[in-house]
Structure 1
Amino acid sequence: MAEIQLKSISKRWGSFVGVQSFDLTIPDREFLVLLGPSGCGKTTTMRMIAGLEGITEGEILVDGKRVNDLDPKDRDVAMVFQSYALYPNMSVYENIRFPLKVRGIDPSTHNEKVMRASAMVELDDFLHRKPAELSGGQRQRVALARAIVREPNVFLMDEPLSNLDAKLRVSTRAQIKNLSHELAVTTIYVTHDQIEAMTLADRVVVMNKGVVQQVGTPTDIYDNPANTFVASFIGSPAMNLIDGTVSGGTFTAPKTSVAGTGLPDGDVTLGFRAEDASLATAGEGQITANIYSLELLGDATMITVRIGPSLVSVKADKSFRAEIGDPVSIAIPHDQCHFFDAGSGQRLQN
């Protein structure tokens, strides 16, 4: 059982701010993902929770107990890193067993615990091998088993899939999802991959430049991004963003007109997702432009047009046929239009 409270934690190195006033309560058994680009502060946040990085300001509480001054070994957390950090001279069995030996766990229980952890990540056929004899995916599973065997209060995972190829990432991601369900342990997972965040998380924390941009369920963040940074970071493709102006309730930009926005006059950014828009009869959509590129995705065709400096995408049926340069009309349902302040990037209520 572990509820984690982060109370205004910050990390600074001189004038450089790594993490700024991070406030969050992580309920027991939640799978929380810290998401953002490189250098946004997500790994620093995790390292502060683990005790590997000192805190400049704020408090970390685990089940109400302040742990700021506890050594990493006393925080009852298990970490899985991007690099597998396995002992090359030990077998898989001994690598998994190692945390039990270090922590002085009763040796008579070791075999049962190792075999249970091994079975969870399907390593029973590889226990006699050395790490050098394993694939990248198998090594990552050894690292997972080594964390599981400790039966910690908290799992911390720092980009554990980033060294795997695309196919292995998908299968290992499914394994982590299933493990989190089986183990029911509070998990904090760091990634820059928004697909990992969307598929694994109970809640996602989107970070940028050390500052939390939005906290919510994957659905919340996808459907209602708090600002243009979140809108442009979440989704594949990212949300289309078009800079324009509202006048008399109508948003206008090159080749674009959306009436009835309900917004006051001013500079505004329109956002909408490719799958929420559709092709319309000529002249009946809010956007009329020439095709810039076409991509067959298998289940759909992605059409891209250029609106000023922006490339804007819309998904069409896989049977759609056209040529680059052909005109298209794009319709956006009114309830799928998102508007952001052009200066601050913050979401506007319309």
Structure 2
Amino acid sequence: MAEIRLNHVQKRWGSFVGVEDFHLTIPDREFLVLLGPSGCGKTTTMRMIAGLEEPSSGEIWIGDRMVNALDPKDRDVAMVFQSYGLYPNMNVYENIRFPLKVRKVPEVEHEARVMRASAMVELDDFLHRKPAALSGGQRQRVALARAIVREPNVFLMDEPLSNLDAKLRVSTRAQIKNLSHELQVTTIYVTHDQIEAMTLADRVVVMSAGVVQQVGTPMEIYDRPANTFVASFIGSPAMNLMEGAVTDGTFHGDRVAIAGLSGAAGRVTLGFRAEDAQVVDSDGQIAAPVYSMELLGDATMVTVKAGGTLVAVKAPKEFRAEIGAPVQIRIPTGICHLFDAQTGVHL
């Protein structure tokens, strides 16, 4: 059992707040992703769980133990770092085996555990090689195997894919997803990449400036962002956001008018996703010139400039238009999000 509880955890350095009042329970076997831009507090939160940083206040529980006073080695967690952290003088087999030697696991168990971990990440053909003879993706798999071999209660992964190229990130992401299913171990994963968060997580914690903005499943966060920060951070492309005002149920903004909106009045921010709107020949609520066209393979991303705002819409892959040509965009009322213009909170 490795439920993790963070009870009002804070981290401060003088007047600077790294993490503010983080309060969350992570159930046993959940894959939780901490997501946010650089400096938002996600890695600091993970380091406090690992014991590499001491919280300024609050309690951290792993299972039935409060671990605030425990050294990292006594918390039964395994970390996978962005930088791999492999020993260059050891081959892959010895790198994977090293945690077993440090923790004084009986030697008769070593080979079976190393081979099991190696097989899980498909490294059996590379066990004799040194790290210098491996690709970036293979080195990351060694780091994963070294964490697996410990059989910990908790996995902590700090941006493990950020040093890999785009193709390797996709394949290694799939491997981590499969490993999570096989191992059934509580995992906390830190990333700034919202695609990693959406594809890997059972739940996502979105953070900004040390403060938790929203906690939910990937679909909850995507479909109903709590505020404009989450809306602008989640999605590829991010949600379109337009400033304006609602009067008598109609939103008026720069080159846009959308009728049939209820539940809000006054200054608001309107949000909608690129895939929910359509490029049409007539009767659109936005009329604006094409700013750019990007062929995505399965669709064409059309970006228009409505006043000072760039608006992205997914059109069929066959769609073509010249830059500067006028187009119209239809936005169904039912897919619109309204946010408070001052606070950014979803209305």
Q: Same fold (TM over 0.5)?
A: yes
Aligned-partner Cα distance in 2 for 1:312–1:100: 54
Contact 2:203 2:215 in 1 (8 A): yes
Within the alignment, does 1:253 sit opposite 2:221 as a pair?
Answer: no
Equivalent position of 2:302 in the other structure:
303
Equivalent position of 2:206 in the other structure:
206
Equivalent position of 2:185 in the other structure:
185
CA RMSD of aligned residues (A): 0.8
Please give the secondary structure, in 2, of the residue aligned with 1:196: helix
Superposed structure 1 runs of 4+ greater than 4 Å apart: none
Aligned-partner Cα distance in 1 for 2:102–2:33: 29
Aligned-partner Cα distance in 2 for 1:140–1:324: 43
Q: Could you tell me which runs of 5 or more consecutive residues in structure 1 were left unpaired when the two chains were aligned.
A: none
Aligned-partner Cα distance in 2 for 1:24–1:265: 34
Equivalent position of 2:63 in the other structure:
63
Q: How many aligned residue pairs are there?
A: 347
1:300-320 CA-to-partner distances (Å, cap 9, x unmatched) read: 111111122210011111111
Offset at 1:280? 2.4
Contact 1:246 1:263 in 2 (8 A): no
Equivalent position of 2:284 in the other structure:
285
Equivalent position of 1:324 in the other structure:
323
1:141-191 CA-to-partner distances (Å, cap 9, x unmatched) read: 000000000000000000000000110000000000000000000000000
Within the alignment, does 1:36 sit opposite 2:36 as a pair?
Answer: yes
- Give TM-score scaled by structure 1 length: 0.98
Equivalent position of 2:110 in the other structure:
110
- What letter is aligned with 1:150? R
Aligned-partner Cα distance in 2 for 1:238–1:303: 14
Contact 1:239 1:273 in 2 (8 A): yes
Please give the secondary structure, in 1, of the residue aligned with 2:182: helix
- What letter is aligned with 1:233? F
Contact 1:248 1:264 in 2 (8 A): no
- What letter is aligned with 2:288? A
Offset at 1:64? 2.8
Equivalent position of 2:341 in the other structure:
342
Contact 2:207 2:213 in 1 (8 A): yes
Contact 1:242 1:307 in 2 (8 A): no
Aligned-partner Cα distance in 1 for 2:257–2:269: 12
Equivalent position of 1:142 in the other structure:
142
- What letter is aligned with 1:175? Q
Offset at 1:27? 0.3
Once the two structures are overlaid, the 10-residue window that deviates more, 76-85 or 247-256, is 247-256
Please give the secondary structure, in 2, of the residue aligned with 1:347: coil
1:81-101 CA-to-partner distances (Å, cap 9, x unmatched) read: 000100111111000000000
Aligned-partner Cα distance in 2 for 1:118–1:298: 36
List aligned pairs for 1:166-181, cutoff 5 A.
166-181=166-181
Please give the secondary structure, in 1, of the residue aligned with 2:187: strand
Contact 2:287 2:306 in 1 (8 A): no
Aligned-partner Cα distance in 1 for 2:43–2:104: 29
Within the alignment, does 1:215 sit opposite 2:209 as a pair?
Answer: no
- What letter is aligned with 1:10? Q
Offset at 1:265? 2.6
Contact 2:206 2:212 in 1 (8 A): yes
Aligned-partner Cα distance in 2 for 1:15–1:163: 33
Aligned-partner Cα distance in 1 for 2:214–2:258: 27
Offset at 1:264? 3.7
Equivalent position of 1:314 in the other structure:
313
Equivalent position of 2:74 in the other structure:
74
Equivalent position of 1:6 in the other structure:
6
Aligned-partner Cα distance in 2 for 1:267–1:64: 49
- Give TM-score scaled by structure 2 length: 0.99
Aligned-partner Cα distance in 2 for 1:177–1:210: 27
Aligned-partner Cα distance in 2 for 1:11–1:192: 20
